[in-house]
Amino acid sequence: MNEEKNLIIVYNKETEKYANFLKALLTQDDDTEEKIIGVKDGTVDVVVHSYNEYRQNKMSMGKDNYILFIGNDENIKKETEFIKIKGEYGLKYGWVGKIGVLFVDKNKLEKREYQKLFEKLKKYGDYIKQNKEVFLLDKNKETIMTTVGVVTTVGVASLFLFLFPLLLPPVLLIPWNVYKINNYNKILKQQYLCLVLTFYFELINQFIGE
C-alpha cells in the first residue's frame, strides 16, 4: 500500500499558472492497468502556495512535506542555492532531499535546442492525443484552460491543440536570433510547459519516490 505524500508547490509572480498546471496533472486519475503515469493515482496530496504564503507558513510546515519551487527569482534562489542544477534546452531542475526546484534559463536557447524542444513537445502531444480519454476530467478543465490561455472544452488534450500552432517547424525561415527576440514570451511559455510535463512524466518519482 502506497503512503500518501504531501507536496507543496511554491510559485513566484510569473509561474503561478504552471504550478496550478502541475497540480492539475498530479491530481488526475490517469494511470492505466499497464502503467503508472507520473505518480500512482491517489498517493500525492498537492497544495499550491505563492512564495509569500510559503514564507508565512514555513515554520508550521511539517518536516514530511516535499517542497517544489517553480521559478528563479532572488527569493527562490536563496531557498535553493544548495541544489545542484541540471537539464537541457533551457529547462532546469534539481533537488536535494525533500526540496526541489524547476525553472527556465531565459538566456540560453540555441536553434538546435529549440528544434529538440519541438520534438519533445510533439512526443508529449502524441501521447496525450492517443490517450486523451484519461486527460478529460471535469475537475481539471478550468485549470488547464487557464494554463494554455484558450477557451475549450476538451481538458488537458487541448494543451497541444493550442500549443502546436505556436511551434515552428524545425527549419526556420528567418534568422534564429531575430525569431527568438520577436517570440520571446511564446518560447518561454513553451519551455515552461515542456518543463512541467517533463517533470511529471519523467522526473517526479525520482524526487518523491514511488
pLDDT in tens, the chain (210 residues): 457 889 999 999 999 989 988 888 887 755 555 555 656 666 688 999 999 999 999 888 878 899 999 999 999 999 999 999 999 999 999 999 999 999 999 877 888 888 888 788 778 777 766 766 666 554 554 554 445 443 333 344 444 444 444 555 444 567 778 778 777 888 888 889 889 989 988 998 899 875
Type of residue at 92: K
What is the structure's pLDDT at 5?
A: 87
Task: Give CA–CA dist 37/133, Å, rounded.
Answer: 14
CB neighbours (10 Å) of residue 176? Answer: 14
What is the structure's pLDDT at 13?
A: 92
105 in Cβ contact with 89 (< 8 Å): no
Task: Give CA–CA dist 124/188, Å, rounded.
Answer: 17
66 in Cβ contact with 6 (< 8 Å): yes
Task: Give CA–CA dist 126/119, Å, rounded.
Answer: 10
Cell 493515482 belongs to which residue? 41
What is the structure's pLDDT at 148?
A: 42
**Between β-strands 66-70 and 5-11, what pairing exists: parallel, antiparallel or unpaired?**
parallel
Task: Give CA–CA dist 115/120, Å, rounded.
Answer: 9
Task: Give CA–CA dist 196/70, Å, rounded.
Answer: 9
Using one digit for the tens of pLDDT, what is the confidence trace for 131-146? 666 665 545 545 544 4
HEC profile of 124-137: HHHHHHHCHHHHCC
Helix, strand or coil, per DSSP, at residue 4: coil
Among residues 182, 142, 146, the alpha carbon closest in space to that of 166 is found at 182
Using one digit for the tens of pLDDT, what is the confidence trace for 58-84? 888 878 899 999 999 999 999 999 999
